[in-house]
Structure 1
């Protein structure tokens, strides 16, 4: 009996220990997932305090540029107050609050785009943000000495090759080219480029493998550099060299050395020239009918020449100054959403990094440039803008058209009798046959000038409209003879 006591005590202790672990573990899990309430915001001199009802707050802080701001994400937190914006005007301009499913975000916008040296500390569940305003902000240590300068940019395409030449004030080191899809990036070290030369070189109309070249300035390892992003029409051989005090980018254009002839979509008819409408008696196809109708409508009119410049898009967005160096495209689009005050949803296929520098550019123009560089497009649905790769948008459009065609094929057909009054029945039958859908058919009724057409209702309407144009009486010529 005595020998069994230790065993019972051990079993009892084990049960107590197990219960402690189970209940204690449950309490710890519950505590870690408990919501934190931000009760108030106290704004003082060079100091902001976020008061909470918790003794322990999980948060992370980081800074962003263009525009400069400090961001603090407090996990599992909700504000008790309804205000979403506070004015600071001391080091920081404003404090903005955003609500998310798993956190509350506090964004401190820098005053005059100068970010103070802020410190974020947690004291008894309070988040204390304190700072001392700096006289200036240095984004990266710059190598001393006077840098080179880009003085001139030239582009020429001839004799099967394209040559892009950048004239420099003095010789410098080359930044080796790197290929990213159809974009070749290269540049020069310790160099600056004036704003007047930061223009896209559009080579799309040249017999060249180069589509466009975009210059931009950046800082790499603390050194001022000028980079060039050359978007190519296709894969070709190329070289990048420093020749004396010039950067030379040369491509072997190959099949891109010839410009394909542009298709003419309209005909220019001089004023006063008489165009004779061809007879409808010998019409063989719908294309001839359309061509004849277009010719008739152009009589005495001058159409604008093909190839005229398209209307220039006018950008009205707020001017921004952005500088990105190998920045995640998703972070860039988040910034665009904040500046534009739009609801933006990114597809999972929107990925990659972006390097660019924009100065005093409307945000909507900046968005178009970013979309073009990354081959992205947008779809607007109400007050939401979806951003997807162009290939995905094209696939969606193709699927939509295929679905539309499928609906047409499933549409019930109807039969209608058309009477031909003036023209030859066989020639009209040939024209209608070219217009039919996949399930349509036409046949002439023997012994009459009537056609029986079976097709979907929309096609029957088109055929009826065309028949009104084709079936016109033949003009008669009256010959009068007078015998003297």
Structure 2
């Protein structure tokens, strides 16, 4: 009996050693598969309640990390593709301003960084060499104050760009939509909410004389009254004047930059006004330069938890910038810009060229 008990303990110990060795080997194999690593994360405070997070990697990134924001609780998730966690830990206790902790989780092909917040904050990302800069700023500001967002960082080569066209349409949910055709998808763009107007600067960008004008768009019956386009120094400058209570979101697909201005509905039973019924998905922000369309669809699949299947005929690249856009609207933007359609069955979404979807539905 004692011999059997000793043998059982020996076998249990041997099994534990084998499992530990196997786990260590698997972990080392996963770690070695990602040559680029996050080497350091530094957090510092900035004026106005803003925070700076600097993430240093062992090799430069091609694009800033794609991210999305969540509420309940408030947090921001950023995905570093083909980057491993080289910090030796999975959590950082920040405790600065509204930033409580930073969590890191490494998968086979990426590391996801989650910023855990005490309240909602907006963010901007940029890259310079081996360093990723993340700027957080409080989302709630006092009336009459100015909030500026660096929607897109300009290229450092000083290339001169041009605004080719400015158009205005009414969206299907009654929103005012300003569409700007750019000469290059890499134009730097700053968006500033200043009091009751929205100001947009197109960095180092020419505005042809025939586009330097005021558009009176009151007849469209949207929250937007005027759109002024002009030259301001070396930049193209646009002032959008809405009426009433409103909110705005901006996005860019290749050379088209778009701002949507939506009316907010005052409901006495709600503490915060809400926009009209339209897109219902959680909001996310993305910033990709010339990335495969299939890769962007995978990011949305990860964000939503849905099974998004791309047809073999889905191809091509896209430059995409989104700021606080509902994920279902983001998916529609991608499909419209690339001539794609979708077919949904439960929690499975098939994405394919629109004519292919139409042909399959006729069968």
Could you state the TM-score of these two structures normalised by the residue count of structure 2?
0.41
Name the larger-Rg structure.
1
Could you state the TM-score of these two structures normalised by the residue count of structure 1?
0.32
- Name whichever structure is richer in strand by fraction: 2
Q: Which has the higher contact order (CA 8 A, sep 6+)?
A: 2
